[in-house]
Structure 1
């Protein structure tokens, strides 16, 4: 399709699944409504007040029946509502800035899909490390070439050429992510319950040792390997909260298997291995990145030998 040279309209349908977290939804709509063919809001529990505000925009509202815990569960199903050649999935807390808008308009027809960098605003700060940046999101692609797995934070499988947009701040989606700790914990709890349900329904075994190991890797990969320490207290808190996520998934899984008994020996072994692993890996990265010059390298090497 070739656009009229004097037209700023694109052959793109924007799809937004929304429920409770709608503080930025009108801003999200306004950032795309004037240059895309259509904006479709999939209502899975939006308040009456917010629905009234949406009706004052050019967006179309479609009510989705049934329980939906997270948007990824229904993205394949709702694609049918799009009438354009390209679909653009947005979350209700994501905003497209002007420079990214122009970039999409100028470039989307050259590729089958665009992978966009995303700027995460968490606890009132842009988080630039701990794997929160550039956080590329594959959200815009030709309508019939992408499919989503109905899993939390899944990524679409796209059969075509994917262009990864350069990770520049002005070309990044603005994601108003977690506004405070309560917001983070509420979402973490919701996601943990949903992920534990996936394990239970799929008949997959999930153990405490696996959960603790995954939690350790989250912390190490974000705080040390991912330079989370460069984001100060924000980086530490976010990395530590991610450490807690997988144990929480397991706790809900344990609840789902009717509080199955664990032997005292297994519990002690799992906890000792967990803390030993954290200390060993933390010490490795402290040495590698020279993060604690006040401790001699000899002492740190001795600590590494003890932990092994």
Structure 2
């Protein structure tokens, strides 16, 4: 008889006889059943699995494992599933930890660190550790797409295990150069086919810039040089595998002769040289001096800061921004947007900033709300062809290098759509000021990235009210939400996704935009080395509780009915009726009415 928290182990195999025995042994005493889906191996993998007591099923070989994973998951009967590749195995400590998790009712899936052994050595850097993967989950809560190396689709609540070697899946990744090249040839062919199906035509930069960016991101940004000669060789091979995808694509499209555009070749070469010079000077030669700004074209960042009747705190924010460093990586220009303040804010700004070269003053024709006011600044910046847009609240103070650190991730991963910093409460603005000691003030977290609570339709921040002890010091690019308090975005993302939705006017526009960014295929990144401090609602205090009641109530319904699952939409409908007829304040009721009457933007707010 199975326990209420029974565990099924699921393994897909293809010619893995050498690895499979150790994988199966690590599951003894942990898994209640073992499901092995053999993809027509030419060795005795299937027999090894049968001898170990596994249930063995056959699935056609499709060159990649992803299409077979959902089939394998369908054969599992346990409440929980541990998914392993045959070259992976579990440790005793990890098994004990996962057993404990099965007793928790608030967890539906678990991200587990993976220790990658490459050419006989644990690679601790090179973007290979902690290498978090969703491998333990309740049945029905995780599924896979068919595309190669695709990320799983999840629902419910997840947790992340501490990035400890003792709690990591062991992965005998690459044992030889021959094995790496063989896989690279297979994977690159599949990825080239996917690009060909999309009618993608490789550019000069694909052959030059993308492989170099891959090398730089692993060897420099992810400190692959600390892995020694193993790290160097691994990073070179990873760059080679990126180049191979576009070379194979060119081959599959007919190996057509084509003259190189001098302009595109020079542009790609210069950007490659710039990247290499930047990382070289940052990590290897503190005394080496080079004026990159004069040598190469700098990226230009437009800093959008929005004010409404808060001249004092806005001036403090601008003063803080004027002190930031750029590390010769970019130039920045501040667009100070006054959202048609009813006080003398704009005249104060004119007197103070009109003669400052890197500040442009703008005033909206009326109060356009948070979204509309920021859009006003974004449009002006895009018209001047800025490369990146930074949206930052006017009730913030920044660390001098925050923008440099916030900018780094875009070199590592071109799929990042939003880069967000670690945000602290400004001293004296904590929610629970009496909870903290004097030494902890200024180190209390306001946000370390975030997630959507889809059951209640709220955007929540990781780390809120916690003292920063380093528990959120790992960068991550798997967020589904991060507060719009501070975002850095490439202009290409804004051009594809569009501007902030002005139907919200105030609140939930950041939740909405995050979903659009994800739907467009981009990632939301949290960069823990970038630090700012937030005065906590300084930019919206003037409206008071009624303002919060109206916009939070109405906009939660707008957002929820746009993106939430059907079950949640039904709960929202039920709650809206309760608010309207039983429990709501005057402005909460008005928010519900305006939602159903399709009254958007500023709505009925006075």
**1:281 to partner: Cα distance:** 1.3
Partner residue in 1 for 2:288: 297
Q: 1:14 to 1:202 in 2, by over 3 A?
A: farther
Q: How far apart in 2 are the matches of 1:141 and 1:228?
A: 31
8 Å CA contact retained: 2:12, 2:72: no
Structure that is richer in helix per residue: 1
**1:167 to partner: Cα distance:** 0.3
Q: Secondary structure at the match of 1:283?
A: helix
Q: Normalising by structure 2, what TM-score?
A: 0.46
Partner residue in 1 for 2:81: 87
Q: 1:56 to 1:109 in 2, by over 3 A?
A: same
**1:14 to partner: Cα distance:** 1.4
Partner residue in 2 for 1:40: 35
Partner residue in 2 for 1:306: 295
What are the within-5 Å matches in structure 2 for residues 277-288 of structure 1?
277-288=271-282
Q: Secondary structure at the match of 2:257?
A: coil
Which of residues 229, 243, 250 in structure 1 aligns to 2:239?
A: 243
8 Å CA contact retained: 1:216, 1:277: no
Q: How far apart in 2 are the matches of 1:37 and 1:205?
A: 49
Q: How far apart in 2 are the matches of 1:269 and 1:34?
A: 63
Partner residue in 2 for 1:76: 70
**Superposed CA offset, 1:114-144 (max 9, x none):** 1000000001000000110000011211211
Q: 1:281 to 1:24 in 2, by over 3 A?
A: same
Partner residue in 1 for 2:505: none
**Superposed CA offset, 1:131-162 (max 9, x none):** 10000011211211222121222221111111
Q: How far apart in 2 are the matches of 1:197 and 1:118?
A: 29
8 Å CA contact retained: 2:17, 2:43: no
Partner residue in 2 for 1:27: 22
8 Å CA contact retained: 1:212, 1:246: no
Q: How far apart in 2 are the matches of 1:269 and 1:18?
A: 48
**1:307 to partner: Cα distance:** 4.7
8 Å CA contact retained: 1:15, 1:89: yes
**1:77 to partner: Cα distance:** 2.8
* Structure (1 or 2) with the larger CA radius of gyration: 2
8 Å CA contact retained: 2:112, 2:134: yes
Which of residues 46, 52, 67 in structure 1 aligns to 2:47?
A: 52
The two structures, once aligned, show a CA RMSD in angstroms of 2.1
Moved more, 160-169 or 237-246: 237-246
Partner residue in 2 for 1:137: 133
**1:29 to partner: Cα distance:** 1.0
Which has the higher relative contact order, 1 or 2, with Cα contacts under 8 A spaced 6 or more apart? 1
Unaligned residue ranges in structure 1 (runs of 5+): 5-9
**1:188 to partner: Cα distance:** 1.0
Partner residue in 2 for 1:188: 184
The reply on whether 1:259 has 2:264 as its aligned counterpart is no
**1:74 to partner: Cα distance:** 2.2
Q: Secondary structure at the match of 1:74?
A: helix
8 Å CA contact retained: 1:206, 1:250: yes
8 Å CA contact retained: 1:99, 1:170: yes
Moved more, 116-125 or 146-155: 146-155
Q: Secondary structure at the match of 2:255?
A: coil
Aligned residue pairs, count: 294
**1:72 to partner: Cα distance:** 1.3
Q: How far apart in 2 are the matches of 1:217 and 1:262?
A: 24
**1:3 to partner: Cα distance:** 4.7
Partner residue in 1 for 2:226: 230
Q: Secondary structure at the match of 2:126?
A: coil
Partner residue in 1 for 2:215: 219
Q: Secondary structure at the match of 1:232?
A: helix
8 Å CA contact retained: 1:94, 1:176: yes
**Superposed CA offset, 1:65-96 (max 9, x none):** 3x311111222233211111222221110010
Which of residues 98, 101, 104 in structure 2 aligns to 1:104?
A: 98
**1:53 to partner: Cα distance:** 2.5
Q: Normalising by structure 1, what TM-score?
A: 0.88
Which of residues 198, 203, 208 in structure 1 aligns to 2:194?
A: 198
Q: Secondary structure at the match of 2:23?
A: helix
The reply on whether 1:160 has 2:153 as its aligned counterpart is no
Q: Secondary structure at the match of 1:140?
A: strand
Q: Secondary structure at the match of 2:18?
A: coil
**1:35 to partner: Cα distance:** 1.5
Q: How far apart in 2 are the matches of 1:186 and 1:252?
A: 14
Unaligned residue ranges in structure 2 (runs of 5+): 298-606
Q: 1:302 to 1:204 in 2, by over 3 A?
A: closer
